[in-house]
Amino acid sequence: MVDLAYVIAGSEATGGAGLQADLKTFQELGVYGVGTITCIVSFDPKNGWGHRFVPVEPSVIADQFEAATGVYDLDVVKIGMLGTPATIDVVAESLGSRSWRHVVLDPVLICKGQEPGAALDTDTALRRKVLPLATVVTPNRFEAQILSGMEQIESEADLIEAARRIHALGPAYVVAKGGVDLPGDDAIDVLYDGQSATVFRAPKIGQERVSGAGCTLAAAITAELAKGVDVADAVGFAKEFVTAGIAARVGGHAPFDAVWQGGYVEQLSLDA
Ligand code: PXL
């Protein structure tokens, strides 16, 4: 039977990020995706593409979790955007009610359009309640700065140091993403497993962030883990998958493009 992977994340109405990107990634990688929606994000074309953010009622999140885990024996889950302390409480409680082989946490901390004070409360709750349950955490540069308490992450060495500090907060594996944010010609990501750091690199494709890259990377790691791949191989593959998706990105009327999860398979067939 097909392997299953579960995602608890926000809906992003244009399909570029969030739950939509996660489920597309699972499907591309041959894994049956099951999803629970935590919030609904709709970019606002009339207002600088800011995020209109609507949380889903905690009881409705609990209902979705009950349905998903009632039907399937899920043991690998990705956590994406949660958004409010009340959402974090219900997700942490639900996760804690069962055991997991892997909990992959993409620590999406802020969303354009939320109050900065709300973002701080969310950060604190995420760090206290969800981070301890994670086996793999995938912060970007900004999130790595907040979680590690480092003021600046400007180099590969800084990224490795941040990954070490975040590892000390509990998760067995830290994937700290430099992406296009660090200087240099390569987009680098660091995997730290408590003993050694492995650096994954790929030439940068443009200098702009592409929507859904972080979601897709973490979802691809999750899908590979669901298939039984080990963490280092899952991260190495996910990097190739997202790089191909960025190269094949989709443009629309927004000032940012979105990852195309079909890019990897398209590239394979071109190479064949
Ligand atoms: O890429 C981060 C992200 C995650 N989840 C949702 C989002 C976004 C960014 O827009 O909307 C729901």
Reported as a single tens digit per residue, the pLDDT across 136-173 is 999 999 999 999 999 999 999 999 999 999 999 999 99
Average confidence (pLDDT) over 15-21: 98
Give the distance (Å) from ligand 1 centre to CA of residue 81.
6
What is the percent of the chain where pLDDT is above 90?
88
Is the CB of 16 inside a 6 Å radius of any atom of ligand 1? no
Angle at the Cα of 112 (from 145 to 185), degrees rounded to 5? 50
Average confidence (pLDDT) over 52-74: 97
- The whole-chain average pLDDT of the chain stands at 95
Q: Is the CA virtual torsion 237, 242, 245, 247 positive or negative?
A: negative
Residue 110 has pLDDT above 70, yes or no: no
Residue 266 has pLDDT above 80, yes or no: yes
Is the CB of 18 inside a 6 Å radius of any atom of ligand 1? yes
Average confidence (pLDDT) over 190-213: 95
Diameter over CA atoms, the chain: 52
Residue 116 has pLDDT above 80, yes or no: no
Rounded CA-CA distance 65/8 in Å is 9
Contacts of 169 (CB under 8 A, 6+ apart): 127, 131, 132, 147
What is the percent of the chain where pLDDT is above 70?
97
Which of 38, 108, 211, 217 has most ligand 1 atoms within 8 Å of CB, for mutation? 108
pTM of the model: 0.97
CATH of domain 3-271: 3.40.1190.20
Residue 113 has pLDDT above 60, yes or no: no
Instruction: Give the nearest ligand 1 atom to 215 CA.
Output: 1
Residue 115 has pLDDT above 70, yes or no: no
Is the CB of 41 inside a 6 Å radius of any atom of ligand 1? yes
Give nearest CA residue, ligand 1 atom 9.
17
Give nearest CA residue, ligand 1 atom 4.
18
Average confidence (pLDDT) over 31-37: 98
Is the CB of 178 inside a 6 Å radius of any atom of ligand 1? no
Reported as a single tens digit per residue, the pLDDT across 218-232 is 999 999 999 999 999
Is the CB of 218 inside a 6 Å radius of any atom of ligand 1? no
Give nearest CA residue, ligand 1 atom 5.
18
Q: pLDDT tier at 193 (50, 70, 90 boundaries)?
A: very high
Is the CB of 109 inside a 6 Å radius of any atom of ligand 1? no
Distances (CA, A) of 40 to 37, 92, 169, 250: 8, 19, 29, 22
Residue 236 has pLDDT above 90, yes or no: yes
Is the CB of 28 inside a 6 Å radius of any atom of ligand 1? no
